[in-house]
Chain A
């Protein structure tokens, strides 16, 4: 049995259907990410699990118990807020003690646990400070400590890294993953950053317009996108449909292929038997550091993006320039048919 079972969950704000029939199982100890653009319903689902929004329809159960309409304070889940929501008039230690205080843990014991939790995020020296005296990254860690000190079964994280700069963000991604693994707590993580989602998650749930588009491992959703939306939202993709799909791939369905899964060869060169190709002319070659991104156009006017890792210095590859006639080559297994 899954730890959290969400069935046909729906929530509308006025006439806007924020969440429109979401069904999802989340396993114990899993790091699952709700990924989607803003307004896709991912945060609303998280807020319904936390108890901040009351669903219009559907149900949520935690460890077999129906929690759909329970108030937030009766649920064994805790939240790390996007803006951290530390209480500004309390010291860091008081903030972290707060949940223990509402659970009537004796004073000495809760001070001990709170200090341990603060130490576990390496911020012992801040215990007596007020939140506004801490940096964004430090506040983020305290928000985490405040939730984790209660040892919840499920931790909900609402874009917790959104306000951090890139470097700090990447550090925290690694750290969060480690904390999750060590504590064995189920993490439900909301983000709109697909790279962050792939880096951290056991499974990704892709949201669009209040519905779940696909659920799967990062590899699944990246390599076998279930819908056109998923293919386009996670990383770059060449999405080819209609007549073009027939001409290039010999398929009547829409096909998605990643730019880095194709390569360019001189137009008169050979390809192996399990590969396919289409001839094209290079329109543009853009050097972007680790990669060069080529835009090529076939004789029948289809434009494709092809990305190549820059390994010329290793003598492994040849580059092309605008105007070159080339062969675009891919392994047959890399052209993913989109079912929907």
Chain B
């Protein structure tokens, strides 16, 4: 460990503390305000109540939006998990022409501005697929989300596969296991933690995505972030928006937290 003087330590603690306060105070205020009894959230909060939570719970548009968000994130997560894992295996196990290009192409969507992805998908759907009689609708939104979620699973699984002892698979084959048996009994257990961590990140990433969703959501379909975006301009809905925003925070944070724990648990296994 690096040894620091007292003053340096105090200074570092102060800087970190300030940054954390700067980052998290707005979130904290938002969460607190979701328990504000008045319809138009203000500061200081005069009286606390779970009124808006109860209202949100029974309010159909919010229930629909929540269901949509969960469905889209789950769908995107499943697609990303399968494709991300397959890509990781292909890039780990084989040498082929254009390998590094493929690698970049997998990572690129996460770096692309959401608006570009959104416009691109929206154009493709409405200018090419619809005229050809293919209407993806809801599924089109899931596919668009999956494109930038793949990298989460890919990165996690690929990193794990690279550290895996290649003789384990050989030992399995040597002991009579076929390809599928080796995958099921030896290879998958070796990377399942990374796989789960990647899948959870993919879920979280899709869950709070706004821009791509705007362009690809079918008419009349809202996800939670889309609903917030629509309602945030209406002051008399402010408290309900806070409730929904809190739900979004929780549903995004939990998978990320669990994912971190999984990654750490895996580090300790070795």
List chain A residues, Cβ under 8 A from B190. Answer: 88-89
For the complex, is B30 an interface residue (Cβ under 8 Å from A)? no
Contact B173 A150 (CB under 8 A): no
Q: A89-B190, A102-B181 are in contact. Are A83 and B167 (CB under 8 A)?
A: yes
Q: How large is the interface on A (under 10, 10 to 19, 20 to 34, 35 or more residues)?
A: 20 to 34
Measured CA separation A83–B165 after assembly (Å): 9
Contact B171 A79 (CB under 8 A): yes
List chain A residues, Cβ under 8 A from B171. Answer: 79, 81, 85-87
For the complex, is B168 an interface residue (Cβ under 8 Å from A)? yes
Encode A130-161 as 1/0 by CB contact (under 8 A) with B: 00100000000000001100100000000000
Contact A99 B175 (CB under 8 A): yes
Measured CA separation A79–B168 after assembly (Å): 12
For the complex, is B172 an interface residue (Cβ under 8 Å from A)? yes
Measured CA separation A86–B170 after assembly (Å): 11
For the complex, is B26 an interface residue (Cβ under 8 Å from A)? no
Contact B174 A87 (CB under 8 A): no
List chain B residues, Cβ under 8 A from A79. Answer: 170-171, 174
Encode A76-119 as 1/0 by CB contact (under 8 A) with B: 01110111011111000000001101110000000000000000
Q: A89-B189, A89-B190 are in contact. Are A78 and B165 (CB under 8 A)?
A: no
Measured CA separation A103–B168 after assembly (Å): 18
Contact A51 B173 (CB under 8 A): yes
Residues of chain B at interface, number, CB under 8 A: 19
For the complex, is B186 an interface residue (Cβ under 8 Å from A)? yes
Measured CA separation A78–B173 after assembly (Å): 10
Q: Which B residues between 230 and 270 are near A, CB-CB below 8 angstroms?
A: 269-270
Contact A103 B176 (CB under 8 A): yes
B167 nearest CB neighbor, chain A only: A85
In this complex, which of B175, B177, B185 has the most chain A Cβ atoms within 10 angstroms of its Cβ?
Answer: B175
List chain B residues, Cβ under 8 A from A216. Answer: none
For the complex, is B61 an interface residue (Cβ under 8 Å from A)? no
List chain B residues, Cβ under 8 A from A51. Answer: 173-174
Contact B177 A85 (CB under 8 A): no
Contact A85 B168 (CB under 8 A): yes
Q: A73-B178, A102-B181 are in contact. Are A85 and B170 (CB under 8 A)?
A: yes
Q: A83-B167, A87-B168, A102-B181 are in contact. Are A50 and B175 (CB under 8 A)?
A: no
CB of B93 to closest CB in A, whole Å: 14
Contact A73 B189 (CB under 8 A): no
List chain A residues, Cβ under 8 A from B165. Answer: 83, 85
Measured CA separation A88–B160 after assembly (Å): 14
List chain B residues, Cβ under 8 A from A86. Answer: 171
Q: A87-B186, A89-B189, A89-B190 are in contact. Are A102 and B175 (CB under 8 A)?
A: yes
For the complex, is A37 an interface residue (Cβ under 8 Å from B)? no
Measured CA separation A168–B185 after assembly (Å): 32
Contact B173 A72 (CB under 8 A): yes
Measured CA separation A87–B181 after assembly (Å): 14
Contact A73 B167 (CB under 8 A): no
Q: Which A residues between 160 and 209 are near B, CB-CB below 8 angstroms?
A: none
For the complex, is A287 an interface residue (Cβ under 8 Å from B)? no
B173 nearest CB neighbor, chain A only: A72
For the complex, is A39 an interface residue (Cβ under 8 Å from B)? no
CB of B90 to closest CB in A, whole Å: 20
CB of A223 to closest CB in B, whole Å: 37
List chain B residues, Cβ under 8 A from A101. Answer: 185
Contact B177 A102 (CB under 8 A): yes
Measured CA separation A89–B189 after assembly (Å): 7
Measured CA separation A263–B98 after assembly (Å): 66
Contact A71 B167 (CB under 8 A): no
Measured CA separation A278–B88 after assembly (Å): 69
A-side residues, CB < 8 A to B, are: 50-52, 71-73, 77-79, 81-83, 85-89, 98-99, 101-103, 132, 146-147, 150
Known pairs A73-B176, A101-B185 / 13 extra A-B pairs, C-beta < 8 Å: A50-B170, A71-B173, A73-B175, A79-B170, A85-B165, A86-B171, A87-B185, A87-B186, A88-B168, A99-B175, A99-B176, A102-B177, A150-B176
Q: 9 closest A-B pairs (Cβ-Cβ)?
A: A99-B175, A102-B176, A85-B171, A72-B173, A85-B167, A102-B177, A89-B189, A79-B174, A73-B176
6 pairs, CB–CB < 8 Å, chain A vs chain B: A50-B174, A52-B170, A72-B173, A73-B174, A89-B189, A101-B185
